[in-house]
Structure 1
Amino acid sequence: MVVYDRVSSLAVRRLLAPAGALKQGWKGGEQQMRSIVHKSILQLPENYPQPWDYKNKGYQYTDAPFDCTQDRFTQNSRLIVVEGNVASGKSSLARQLADQLGFYHMPEFKMDDVLIDRYGNDLRKFYHLFPKRFRIPDMQMFYKNPMDELSAAMQERIFRCRFDQYLNALAHIMNTGQGVVLERAPHSDFVFANAMRAKNYIGHEFFKYYYFVRKNALPKLNFWPHLVIYLDVPVAKCMENIRKRGKVEEIACLDEEYLGTIEESYKDSLREYRKHSKILAFDWSTPGDVDSVVEDIEATDLDFFEWHSGDVFEEWHAPVDEITWNGWRQYVTSKSNAHFYAFDGIETHDVGELYINPRDAGHFLQVMRQEVLKSPYAYGYNLKKGDEMAGMDNWRTFHVLPEKWYEYWWKELWYDNWNAMELVIDPQMKNLDPDYLHAHH
């Protein structure tokens, strides 16, 4: 096992601490060790607040005076990100860590999370009706044809969804106090862009665009993970694990060059993480003992910060009052401002792989209304599909979904933000041209 940023062994702390001290947050010398502990050790005060139901209530300015943020923070109110190559064992470790620590587990984002809507419509079943530009691949489609020009659109969408998922993790911590174990973060997403470029699955123009967007977007997240766990698995072992899955297309696509580029790119990712987060790296060629990983986590000080000693944890210590914390809580819970500042106004006209023909967009929206939703109304406003009556009081900045919370912009919110001349001319979308694809493609 190789461990970076290891602070002190748990055994030494337990020997030096008085009986019962770890449960009480023992202060060794003058410095209190603020480390994550096993869920069986964590003790909450009797008046600890109940989790805020942010997914139904959101969190607005009017809520701030009645529900404070700092009251929820405990030594386990941390964000852990598990990183590693494809088929390195991230998911299994992340689930077990979340279970032992009492954290909320967020699996790695997958395209299914945004391709199936609230009504159960799987958009992929309508791809034969969509103009090609709107047939965004899922991973299985990508594996079958990675050279398709839509691979770039898929990668862009994955990055933006990882961005939203990271905000979801921050929102969960600030609204409930419960820590989060997240599989992958938007900060490391570039390892896949590098691999796709190395294999010529994406073009040079998109590659430059991707890094421009990344540079603009990541600062809008503000908070870096407290701890990054990296599973170091040789490429040969990852390929062996992939073959064991038995998925023919995946085996053909994820070759040694692709996985090797990911492995090399992770060196840059960890160097970037190191400026802001603590890192534990493990040789996971043979999956290790999760209990040992938990002990290493417990032995890592995830709180100590001095302004003159570096940037690790700086953004978690910058807010010093309840007003500032409530502001950040609103920011990550809403996500709308973060998404707007990160992505709005960035031009794509020089990136051929992302170009959208306006006529194609109009036809796509016609298909969405006529065939997918079978309604001129947006998501959440279809009484015939079981939606409740929603009025003007449901309006939110940058979106008009009836709910105060949305998980991913690309789940359903995008539909509120798109328009086309066809919508103006034919708002009921009754003039769908069944021969459009045959005539234009």
Structure 2
Amino acid sequence: MALSVVRKGVISLTGRAGRSLVAPAAVIQPQIATIVSKALRGRDYKRPAPFPYKDNSYGLFQAFLDKTTHRMDENSKIIVVDGPIAAGKTKFAQELAEELDMHYIPQANMDMVYINSYGYDLRQLDPLVPDTCKSFDEKDFLGNPNHRRVAGFQFDMLKLRLNQYLDALGHLLSTGQGVVMERSVYSDLVFAETLAHFGYLSKKALNLYYECRKMTVPLLMRPHLVVYLDVPVDVTLKKIQARGLPHETNSSVLSAEFLSHMEMKYKQQFLKEMKNHAEILVYDWSEEGDTEVVVEDIERINFEFGKNDPKMADWKLKDEWEWCEKRMQYTKYRSHFMMWLVVPDFSVEEMVIPAADHKIYTDALLEAPGERYEVGFNSDMGDQFILTKVKKDLAV
């Protein structure tokens, strides 16, 4: 696989015999072979009413009444924006989602773990709990990459990215609206491999990581398009310094060697694997590029591939019922995916919390605002629900 500049600011990936990875390809209906911008759709375009998948369960009964493919159009696709740290992914992904009238999903971060539904930051419990149970986020890793909680941190990020990708699939299949997301569960391996290479993640933890990944990720429908914002390591270091976040600029982790290894994993593992299943666009983003130019490039892609071509194979479902089954799998039964990441493996010592420590943590957690009961049942947080008293009585 090689990288070749096709015009200023744009790079094309090519494989054997110089075949462009953004060359035309084919998918059967209801997956339409193109993506169009909001401007080309015109003001009269109106998407069918969405199914409220976040509030209502989509099971067998609902599947008979509410089919899936009638909501899907040319933009019912998943686009992943990826690239090195400080590349400008957030701004670009937001602009791309706006231009294509797609749903935007931000990059996963540990605030999603520690800030609960009521806005309370569980990291405030750290003084009350043992070291084995204290919070550990991005800032902690960059400050202390040899901490025993690094493995737990990496698994938390895998869980978040898996959860986000299930959200993306559930949203697309329930509303018909396409999704643009920053990073994904597929590129999470870049971080795991890099942490392991520098000794921050043990071999046992890495083996467990791949075991969990093997039981979950292959069951997902891979993205249609990956847009990779390519930034050389020396420029990345300058961008990190320019944005001036103390936990990044003062970290010994974000060295040229660390970032170079990440870049190598991105290009030789992640992109190499994804090119077999999705379209790839790679842009030189050393200086901020033009989102409109990227949109024009995307509009030129033909997402149609032959019946036996592995590209887009995940989206070549044989009938309406198979689409409905996928929708149930990614919404109602999504917990079946997540359970693989919560089953403890006692062979990975750094991920095991002693029972006594866990009891202290649980007791402290139950006293935190909004943590005693499920969301909607905490009257002390202002929840108003007819079953609140019953829920409390049953819980005692």
Calculate the TM-score normalised by the size of structure 2: 0.86
Matching residue of 1:52: 51
Higher mean Cα deviation, 50-59 or 261-270? 50-59
Structure 1 CA distance, aligned partners of 2:247 and 2:48?
49
Structure 2 CA distance, aligned partners of 1:63 and 1:145?
49
CA contact (8 A) 2:32 2:74 kept: no
Instruction: Provide Cα deviations, 1:121-155, integer angstroms capped at 9, x if missing partner.
Output: 21001111122222231212222222211111111
Instruction: Provide Cα deviations, 1:21-51, integer angstroms capped at 9, x if missing partner.
Output: xxxxxxxxxxx97210011222699885212
Matching residue of 2:121: 122
Matching residue of 2:64: 65
CA contact (8 A) 2:155 2:341 kept: no
Instruction: Provide Cα deviations, 1:56-98, integer angstroms capped at 9, x if missing partner.
Output: 2232322223322100110000000011111112111111111
Instruction: Provide Cα deviations, 1:170-216, integer angstroms capped at 9, x if missing partner.
Output: 11111111110010111110111122223322222212222222222
Matching residue of 1:243: 241
CA contact (8 A) 1:331 1:338 kept: no
CA contact (8 A) 1:78 1:179 kept: yes
Q: Does 1:358 align with 2:359?
A: no
CA contact (8 A) 2:186 2:270 kept: yes
* Shift in Å, 1:3: 1.5
Give the match's secondary structure for 1:260.
helix
* Shift in Å, 1:247: 2.0
Structure 1 CA distance, aligned partners of 2:385 and 2:299?
49
CA contact (8 A) 1:149 1:202 kept: no
Q: Does 1:305 align with 2:305?
A: yes
Instruction: Provide Cα deviations, 1:235-288, integer angstroms capped at 9, x if missing partner.
Output: 111110000111233122311121111101012101110111111111111222
Matching residue of 1:226: 224
Structure 1 CA distance, aligned partners of 2:43 and 2:67?
16
Matching residue of 2:103: 104
| One-letter amino acid matched to 1:6 | V
Matching residue of 1:256: 256
Structure 2 CA distance, aligned partners of 1:374 and 1:301?
48
Matching residue of 2:285: 284
Kindly report the root-mean-square deviation, in angstroms, between the aligned alpha carbons of the 2 structures: 2.3
Give the match's secondary structure for 1:3.
strand
Q: Against the structure 1 CA distance between its residues 60 and 232, is the aligned structure 2 distance closer, same or farther, given a 3 Å change threshold?
A: same
Give the match's secondary structure for 1:86.
coil
After superposition, residues 111-190 of structure 1 pair within 5 angstroms as 111-190=110-189
| One-letter amino acid matched to 1:87 | A
CA contact (8 A) 2:370 2:378 kept: no
* Shift in Å, 1:339: 2.3
The higher-RCO structure (CA 8 Å, 6+ apart) is 2
CA contact (8 A) 1:140 1:249 kept: yes
Structure 2 CA distance, aligned partners of 1:272 and 1:299?
23
* Shift in Å, 1:351: 0.5
Match of 1:386 among 372, 382, 394: 382
CA contact (8 A) 1:194 1:261 kept: no
Q: Against the structure 1 CA distance between its residues 376 and 97, is the aligned structure 2 distance closer, same or farther, given a 3 Å change threshold?
A: closer
| One-letter amino acid matched to 2:307 | W
Structure 2 CA distance, aligned partners of 1:233 and 1:47?
38
Gaps of 5+ in 2: 1-9, 14-20, 25-30
Structure 1 CA distance, aligned partners of 2:361 and 2:106?
31
Calculate the TM-score normalised by the size of structure 1: 0.78
Matching residue of 2:22: 6
